[in-house]
Amino acid sequence: MSSSVKVRPVVRADYEQWLPLWGGYNAFYGRSGPTALPTEISKITWARFFDVYEPMHALVAEVDGKLVGLVHYIFHRSTTTIEPICYLRDLFTDETLRGKGVGKALIEAVYEDAKAAGVQQVYWQTHETNLTAMRLYNHVADRSGFVVYRKVL
């Protein structure tokens, strides 16, 4: 399957196909129904991908003209490097194509974009219950051992 997957930057005309994938990603992490993201957040997120002043980027995976995956990532400064680093923020693939190389193709495309931008590190997090994704992640990256804490304000 991975040979038929085309990964490319998102374009404005992708919105109608991107939105259900974005919705699937959010539902996977429990942001649906009464806890769904407000529509305004999705609209602003989409707009940021096209704002040259934003460090946020988006790629999509396409098979036979249909979007089957997305990845969003952010270049940002670090206190431990001179060059920026890359945070892979969101990764989602069509459920029917999981394990077929779509996620791997998206991650590798982020790696390539990061290298082209002079970035030397890509990192991300996932929920501890996301075992399917972790099988892939264990093959394409090193587990850092860090535990994430957060406080909603």
Which domains are present in the chain?
Answer: 2-140 (3.40.630.30)
Write the CB contacts of 108 (distance below 8 Å, at least 6 apart in sequence).
Answer: 7, 140
Asked if residue 113 lies in contact with residue 105, where contact means CB atoms within 8 angstroms, the answer is: no
CA 125 to chain centre: 11
Asked if residue 144 lies in contact with residue 123, where contact means CB atoms within 8 angstroms, the answer is: yes
CA angle 76, 80, 83 (to 5 degrees): 50
The tens place of each residue's pLDDT in the chain, 153 residues long, gives 556 999 999 999 999 999 999 999 999 888 877 778 899 999 999 999 999 999 999 999 999 999 999 999 999 999 999 999 999 999 999 999 998 999 999 999 999 999 999 999 999 998 888 888 889 898 999 888 887 888 888
Which pLDDT does position 30 carry in this prediction? 87
Which pLDDT does position 3 carry in this prediction? 63
Please state whether beta strands 122-123 and 85-93 pair in parallel, antiparallel, or not at all (unpaired). parallel
CA proximity to 46, closest of 16, 91, 85: 16
Distance CA 42, CA 15 (A): 11
Which pLDDT does position 1 carry in this prediction? 56
Which pLDDT does position 9 carry in this prediction? 98
User: Hunting for tokens 């501890």 — which residue is that?
Assistant: 128
Which pLDDT does position 28 carry in this prediction? 87
Which pLDDT does position 21 carry in this prediction? 96
